[in-house]
Structure 1
Amino acid sequence: MENFWDLKIKEIKGSFKEDKNYEEWKKTILEPWNKKTGYKDKSRTNSSSMPVKELYTRGDLPDNIDSILGNPGEYPFTRGVYPNMYRGRNWTMRMFSGFGTPDDTNKRLKYLIENGETGLSIAFDMPTLYGFDCDNKRAEGEVGKCGVNVSSLHDMERIFDGIDLSKVSTSMTINAPAAILTAMYFVLAEEKGIPLEKIAGTVQADILKEYIAQKEWMYPPEAHLRLIRDMLTYSTEHVPKWNYISVSGYHIREAGSSAVQELAFTLADGFYYIEMGMNAGLNVDDFAPRMSFFFNSSINFFEEIAKFRAARRIWATVLKEKYHAKNPRSMELKFHTQTSGYTLTWQQPLNNIVRTTIEAMAAVLGGTQSLHTNSYDEAWALPTDNAVKVALRTQQIIAEETGIADVIDPLGGSYYLERLTCEMEIEAYKYFSEIEKMGGILDAVKSGYIQKEIADTSYKKQLKIENEDDIIVGVNRYVDKDEKPINTLKITDIAENGQINSLKNIKSKRDESKVAESLEKLKNAMEDESVNLMPYIMDCVRNYCTLEEISNIGRDIFGEWKEPKIY
């Protein structure tokens, strides 16, 4: 019996007809020309190994093109989730920030706000991402190196010192300990006298992609998914402007996936979270509007634009037809985009400015709601102030000087783009069907299927680069023999020592009896599956329990997890 996904594939494929005019042109015009000029054409594919023809025509459009396109702001949202898109308001320029101590990051955030940034985005260091305090032996040498260090509520207070949380939207890229960092942000708002219903932002919290790609987890999948469920239900009831999860394809792409794999695996994760909320007793329209997504924008220009448009159409279609959402807002796929990290090269780093510009334009033409542009020096280290400013100015030039934002979905109707969008839909539905046959995305992850698909793609990509089938300017062609290092941002041990001393100071001042009491209550709550853990975590945070102390309660109860072997 055909499943939902197979029926959608059949539906899309059935909308295409043979283009006799194209075949006639190819036979009577193109082939004689190639023969006359001696040109020997070779087949070409994009990053998803999809064949790319030399010409696309009206015949490449599906018969139902008008209905699957729709208009901006209406189902199926192919052309954008808002009726006026950037004519009404530009995308949020949300530069990824965070390094060293909380005080260092506070200065960088204020610098970006002064230079026109319209949304804050916080990166955390490796100890924080794994739920360890700065004084843990496993944190040695890593404190503040790839993001800001947070070991307690005091660090969060320092990050946002002098910043009005009611006037900014904050995104936090944190997953395994997402519930703890979210609790810190909520408690910080309370300290500042800001009602929770007035704070806005997003926490990534997408633990499935951690097992798939980024490999930063604390507990087995089921335990983390419970925490996401608790954030989902708590935020739905108490923090209506907070996006409790940002389903992330970015790291899936950085791990080596193709554009189609990023599209398929990200949306499959999103569908799982939808089912999780419904299984928790929530109506899909009560929580789906607060889900957001996070995509990568890579260098294959049209493929990326098609990916974004296909994502919107798939999400709207599945939410309506499979999960029976009624509210159009539930069907609107809203997403943040970051330009590609894996396309940045340490060779000839100024070339990265061009790459980032192309990728940013693809994101905007694809209809993103917010955008981070990578800095040209990030293949070397965390970005300097000057590099960050160039990256931000890249967005501002696109918004203010190019005219791209003047027209809603300016590439809509392009023969090539529309056909590519449909082809990406088909390939994504094929993955959804395969995942369902395996028992769902969680089983597909636990078996290693998703991870192996990405690893195989990454390996094939690397072979193409080494064989010069794929050209990387400055790497395997147009190489400079005398490459010189550039000036980079350096995080010294001063940051680590400062954080350790700060943590000691906080521990010396807190009420240890309240710490023990709140941790014991959290332990008891974790042992009862029916209890929402967010109030208990927030109570621990108020009493200045540390990140690691809270995380360790879960480690004791839930245990650890090792990923499967895929080869």
Structure 2
Amino acid sequence: MFKDEKLDKIGQSFEKFQAGVNKTLEKRPERKDIFESGSGEVVNRLYTPLDIKGFDYEEDLGMPGSYPFTRGVQNTMYRGKLWTMRMYAGFATAEESNKRYKYLIEQGSMGLSVAFDLPTQIGYDSDHALSEGEVGKVGVAIDSLADMEKLFDGIPLDKVSTSMTINAPASVLLAMYIAVAEKQGVSADKLRGTIQNDILKEYIARGTYIFPTEPSMRLITNIFEYCSKEVPLWNTISISGYHIREAGSTAAQEVGFTIADGIAYVNAAIEAGLDVDTFAPRLSFFFNAHNDILEEVAKYRAARRLWARIMKDRFGAKNEKSMKLKFHTQTGGSTLTAQQPENNIVRVAIQTLAAVLGGTQSLHTNSKDEALALPTEDSVRVALRTQQIVAYESGAADTIDPFAGSYFMEAKTKDIEEKAMEYIKKIDEIGGAPRAIDAGYIQQEIMDAAYNYQKDIETGKRIIVGMNKFQIEEEAPKGLLRVDPSVGEKQKGQIADLKSKRDNAKVEETLEALRKACSTDENLMPYILDAVRAYGTLGEICGVMREVFGEYQQSVQL
């Protein structure tokens, strides 16, 4: 970017600047001996062209919408179309969640994002013994197609895009969504949305897995293949760094481990006989947004560039769409405090700016009360309004990648990319993400980072406003959303009623066909769809696969 002669002059100027700073420090020390980013990386006092030696505009930056996509995946970005304001919601019964979705649409939400309760996430019906006390608590309870019909009642599925945060039983919930659309008269090729469908990060950071690694990867590649032909507008996976960051990772770890998972999925699909350019354009990613706004913007830019290079150089993708890292962002749940929850509105606003300045494709903003309970309608509205104010009042959406060319931003983007690539190389040496997970490598790296972060909070090295500094006396919170404990009994009654009215012989026939198919190399999606259409329950369908595949058991060797 600069010739050596010019860099020498800049170096001389920097030495003079540093000499002046040293004199200043003798009289007036800085606030801290060392300044660090949100991830604990040292932040220099000043950044100059000396920090980005070798920077090549075309190779490292380029234009928006062009390889290596550092500046964004569309050439007009938000000047053409704003990001999708996709609010994550779901609680209690399908009927109650349906009301919340309609409220969000009325308030200007552009897409739906479904939160499922814990039993649904691990493939159990509401009447299972392990579901007791958990039905409808952290999301909506979905036991069968009948519940899914209620969830989307009055919501035309050809008019909205829907994201579903579901992993181990993703194939079943996707089948239910397709079946609901059929009942609305909407063909599968018109459906737009995303299923998370990322089982590797469940083994790493979240824990809502069901099946062992191999059959889990089979289900994922079955979905890739099926949707490439039948549901071409659907994003078949959302490779998730969000939960990796929530578990305590650094920004570079979030990028490195997430992209390592992405590499594993691409490898699995290729090994299953799929051409990379037939499925890669429908891969998507999911990242966190934390409070260190500059580090977060650099993180998104680094992730885009790294993925583009990997898809082109490692996998030989020819279609530029295969190289584009499209991502959803959610503001950082782990950054919210139960103390002085109004402060969370400010945190979420900062994180919203980070996501927008970093070029996200869709965004969920957390509500101020989520450190305490599921959000109320009022707090959800404020969270949505935060996005709308940034979109329409801040000016942040009016120009593309405004930090490009900043010495700090380009140096930080390169730094995160290089650190993430070091993690990817280490995982490659171990044998890929699944083996690195089984060996406990990724989990240990995250645990170490989480420990250091928490230690910094407890020693006061890291300030969390309202929690370890600037505390006040507070009354117990009021007006929190509470899920009625009778939801579980209501769901049990609905399951019993469903089983008394459906064609049980047809259900058994479809489940037996699925059981046999599980022991072959056939794509399981058509069999799962047949069972869903017959009103087989989530627990029954996952139960068949449990019988054949078994269940995953953590065997971490740290």
CA deviation vs aligned residue, 1:306-340 (integer Å, no higher than 9, x gap):
00000000011111111111111111110000000
* Structure 2 residue corresponding to 1:161, chosen from 148, 153, 166: 153
Q: Which residue pairs with 2:33 in the alignment?
A: 42
Tell me how far apart the structure 1 counterparts of residues 265 and 32 of structure 2 sit (CA, whole Å): 46
> In the alignment, which residue of structure 1 is the partner of 2:455?
463
Q: For 1:210, which of 188, 202, 206 is the aligned residue? A: 202
Confirm or deny: 8 A CA contact 2:438 2:557 kept in the other structure.
no
Instruction: Describe the superposition over 1:376-418 as per-residue Cα deviations: whole angstroms up to 9, x where unpaired.
Output: 0000110000000000000000000011111111111111111
**Distance between the aligned counterparts of 1:113 and 1:140, measured in 2?**
32
- 2:3: which partner in 1? none
The partner residue of 1:172 within 164, 170, 188 is: 164
State the one-letter code of the partner of 2:456.
K
Counterpart pick for 1:287 among 279, 282, 290: 279
Cα distance, 1:17 vs structure 2: 9.6
Contact 1:232 1:287 in 2 (8 A): yes
Question: Would you say 1:330 and 2:322 are equivalent positions?
Answer: yes
Q: Structure 1 CA distance, aligned partners of 2:135 and 2:29?
A: 60
Counterpart pick for 1:374 among 366, 370, 375: 366
Q: What is the deviation of 1:69?
A: 0.6
Deviates more, 1:480-489 or 1:446-455: 480-489
Distance 1:152 1:362 in 2: 38
Q: Which residue of 1 aligns with 2:401?
A: 409
CA contact (8 A) 1:248 1:266 kept: yes
The answer to whether the 8 Å contact 1:17/1:62 transfers is no
* Structure 2 residue ranges without an equivalent (≥5): 1-6
Structure-2 separation of matches of 1:153 and 1:507: 12
One of 476, 496, 506 as aligned partner of 1:504: 496
In the aligned structure 2, how far is the partner of 1:409 from the partner of 1:367?
A: 7
Q: 8 Å contact 1:18–1:59 — kept in the other structure? A: no
Q: Name the count of aligned residue pairs.
A: 551
2:77 touches 2:400 (CA, 8 Å); kept in 1?
yes
Aligned partner letter, 2:210: M
SS at structure 2 position matched to 1:338: strand
Aligned partner of 2:544 in structure 1 is 553
Q: Deviations over 1:456-503 (max 9, x none)?
A: 111111111000010101110001133432321010122222211111
8 Å Cα contact 1:213-1:251 kept in structure 2 = yes
Q: Distance in 1 between matches of 2:57 and 2:236?
A: 34
Say whether the 8 Å CA contact 1:60–1:415 is kept in structure 2: yes
Cα distance in 2 for partners of 1:65, 1:306 equals 17
Change (3 A) 1:117 1:187: same
- Alignment of 1:55 with 2:12, yes or no, is no
For 2:536, give the aligned amino acid: C
Structure 2 letter corresponding to 1:384: T
Q: CA RMSD of the aligned region, Å?
A: 1.4
Does the C-alpha gap of structure 1 residues 349 and 165 become closer, same or farther in structure 2, counting only changes over 3 Å? same
2:81 corresponds to 1:81: no
1:189-228 residue pairs with structure 2 within 5 A?
189-228=181-220
The residue aligned with 1:534 is 525
Measured after TM superposition, the shift of residue 195 of structure 1 is: 1.1
Q: Measure, in 2, the Cα distance between the counterparts of 1:425 and 1:547.
A: 40
CA distance in 2, matches of 1:498, 1:18: 75
Identity %, equivalent residues: 51
CA distance in 1 between counterparts of 2:225 and 2:219 reads: 10
The residue that corresponds to 1:543 in the other structure is: 534
TM-score by length of 1: 0.95
1:116 matches 2:108: yes
When the two structures are superposed, what TM-score results if normalisation uses the length of structure 2? 0.97
Per-residue deviation, residues 15-54 of structure 1 (Å, max 9, x unmatched): x999624641343221122123355851222233322101
The superposition leaves residues 498-554 of structure 1 with CA deviations (integer Å, 9 ceiling, x where unpaired) of 2111111111111111011100000000011x1000000000001111000011111
Q: CA deviation at 1:560?
A: 1.6
Which 10-residue stretch deviates more, 77-86 or 552-561?
A: 552-561
Q: Distance in 2 between matches of 1:462 and 1:387?
A: 28
Residues of 2 paired with 1:40 and 1:143: CA distance? Answer: 49
**AA at the equivalent of 2:514:** L
Q: Distance in 2 between matches of 1:59 and 1:407?
A: 27
Q: Verify the 8 A CA contact 1:98 1:105 in the aligned structure 2.
A: yes
Secondary structure of 1:93's counterpart equals: strand
Q: In structure 1, what is the equivalent of residue 143 of structure 2? A: 151
Matched ranges for 1:348-387 at <5 A: 348-387=340-379
Worse-matched range after superposition: 286-295 or 486-495: 486-495
Counterparts of 1:212 and 1:264 in 2: how far apart (Å)?
A: 13
Q: 1:263 aligns with which of 255, 259, 284?
A: 255
Partner of 2:4 in structure 1?
A: none
1:517 to 509, 515, 523: 509
Correspondence for 1:127 among 105, 112, 119:
119
Q: Distance in 2 between matches of 1:226 and 1:22?
A: 59
Q: CA, structure 1 residues 39+381, in 2 after alignment: closer, same or farther (shift >3 Å)?
A: closer
How far apart are the structure 2 equivalents of 1:18 and 1:495? Answer: 71
